[in-house]
Amino acid sequence: MFDIQHIRNQFPILDQSVNGKPLVYLDNAATSQKPLAVLNAWQKYYTEINANVHRGIHTLSQLATEEMELSRRKIQKFINAEHDFEVIFTRGTTEGINLLAYSLTAWLKKDDEIIISYLEHHSNIVPWQMLCERTGAKLKVIPIDSDGILQIDFVEKNLSEKTRLISVNHVSNALGVVNPVEEIIALARKNSDALIVIDGAQAAPHFKIDVQQLDCDFYVFSGHKMYAPMGTGILYGKEKILRELPPFHGGGEMIATCSFDKTTYADLPFKFEAGTPNVGGNIALGAAADFIESIGHQHLQNHENALLEYAQQKLLELDGLRIYGEKATRTGVVSFNLEGIGIASDVGMILNKIGIAVRTGHHCTQPIMAFFEIAGTVRASFAVYNTFEEIDILVEGVRKAQRMLS
Ligand code: C6P
């Protein structure tokens, strides 16, 4: 049974007023709120366990290690990875992609090609541009149409022996468009030996991820968008490739032996986890996966899809409102502008005055904004605890903003 009030009760932060109005939190693509189970797991670690992992023989250190490794196995199950050591704790999606872009330096040479898409967050553009600068490789960009749908025949036409890497997001943060990553992966497997990276920052909170079924080489996501604390994230990689890849950061935790003559690296996953990890956060990330699974992916998805459909239908009743990516398959996000109102943040400020939190601006996706020839959009993004009443409040707020600004 899906009981929205039971779910909302687990998020005490939602029960407050902002600017004298009940908070309507619709900025979940930026970060989600955290349920009690996650807060308690984090607090329990700091009140009862706090110790460093993988190094102490004392009881607390062993407990901390056990709890963090248990969390790794929970994430392994959450994304259906074959092995727990294919799950690497990071600080978030940005760090995961930077790790790859650095560690894959020797995988590319001058004039090799990296394919990304027009729909990428800056985190899935800039690290690859930096890699191109280091190696002389070139970026190729899958175009979109006016609905924000990827034109994947571009992939078929542009794949060659030069294509060494493809990195695309599973869901666009700016538009909520769900990209056909399965098709892109199938095309790539047929026509190249390119490595495939999927940025799952906006997918992991919304639907079941199965990395074995996807057959991607790497899958990255952030904890804080899927109900876990900030500063947590996951890089999944296939065992064979992770074994061949050099480490990103050097330091403690990631060595097998260290001398002034030669250092050898630790086994997976520790080779990629230099330094003291965010133990409390990583444990709480496992609790966030449990939280999602306790609701059930299908229930969560059904509710969020219904919210999205309702929001879209209600918003489109307003004159001169344009939703970007309206015709595309989407999840979790509705991104829009009002005709004649050039500055999205003006709408955001009026909404904030009545307790509604949305994000406005370019959403760290300036190429998408350039494509639509706009400076930004108003973005409402949903989580499992949002309600249809909140959508009504949003729509009324947008109507009010339209009246005030036009
Ligand atoms: N998008 C948003 O408001 P980090 O900051 O490392 O947790 O995630 C970066 C990132 C990478 N890829 C995608 C698709 C993303 O959506 C994000 C973060 C937030 O849309 C903050 S800019």
Q: 310 and 288, same structural domain?
A: no
Of 238, 270, 293, the residue that ends a domain is 293
Ligand 1 centre to CA of 86 (Å) is 22
Catalytic residue list? 364
Which uninterrupted H or E stretch holds 197?
A: strand 195-199
Is residue 232 within 6 Å of ligand 1 at its C-beta?
no
Across the chain, mean pLDDT equals 97
Ligand 1 centre to CA of 32 (Å) is 12
Q: 365 and 316, same structural domain?
A: yes
Q: 245 and 192, same structural domain?
A: yes
pLDDT in tens, 8-48: 999 999 999 999 999 999 999 999 999 999 999 999 999 99
Residue nearest to atom 8 of ligand 1 (CA): 93
Whether residue 71 lies inside any domain: the answer is yes
Q: 242 and 145, same structural domain?
A: yes
Q: 375 and 317, same structural domain?
A: yes
Is residue 92 within 6 Å of ligand 1 at its C-beta?
yes
Whether residue 31 lies inside any domain: the answer is no
Minimum mean pLDDT range among 88-97, 139-148, 341-350, 377-386: 341-350
Is residue 206 within 6 Å of ligand 1 at its C-beta?
no
Residue nearest to atom 17 of ligand 1 (CA): 201
Is residue 121 within 6 Å of ligand 1 at its C-beta?
yes
What is the per-residue pLDDT for 342? Answer: 78
| Residue range of the domain that includes 366 | 296-405
CATH number at residue 122: 3.40.640.10
Task: Give the separation between CA 198 and CA 268, rounded to whole angstroms.
Answer: 20
pLDDT in tens, 336-385: 999 998 799 999 999 999 999 999 999 999 999 999 999 999 999 999 99
Whether residue 7 lies inside any domain: the answer is no
- The percent of residues in the chain predicted with pLDDT above 90, rounded, is 98
Is residue 125 within 6 Å of ligand 1 at its C-beta?
no
Whether residue 357 lies inside any domain: the answer is yes
Pocket mutation for ligand 1, best pick of 126, 199, 364, 379 (most atoms within 8 Å of C-beta): 364
CATH number at residue 401: 3.90.1150.10
Q: 335 and 267, same structural domain?
A: no
Pocket mutation for ligand 1, best pick of 32, 93, 378 (most atoms within 8 Å of C-beta): 93
Q: Is 323 helix (H, G, I), strand (E, B) or coil?
A: strand
Cα Rg of the chain, angstroms? 22
Decide if pLDDT at 317 tops 90. Answer: yes
Whether residue 277 lies inside any domain: the answer is yes
- The percent of residues in the chain predicted with pLDDT above 70, rounded, is 100
Q: 288 and 215, same structural domain?
A: yes
pLDDT in tens, 229-254: 999 999 999 999 999 999 999 999 99
Q: 111 and 145, same structural domain?
A: yes
Q: 304 and 275, same structural domain?
A: no
What is the per-residue pLDDT for 406? Answer: 87
Q: 183 and 273, same structural domain?
A: yes
> How many CA within 13 A on the CB side of residue 46?
10
Residue nearest to atom 19 of ligand 1 (CA): 30
Task: Give the separation between CA 22 and CA 389, rounded to whole angstroms.
Answer: 12
Q: 219 and 72, same structural domain?
A: yes
Q: 281 and 355, same structural domain?
A: no
Of 293, 313, 335, the residue that ends a domain is 293
Which letter, b or e, does each residue of 186-209 get, where b requires 16 or more Cβ atoms within 10 Å of its Cβ? ebbeeebebbbbbbbbbbbbbbbb
**What's the structural domain count of the chain?**
2
Helix, strand and coil content of the chain, in percent to the nearest 5, comes to 45, 20, 40
What is the per-residue pLDDT for 1? Answer: 83
- Summarize the confidence of residues 180-188 as an average pLDDT: 98
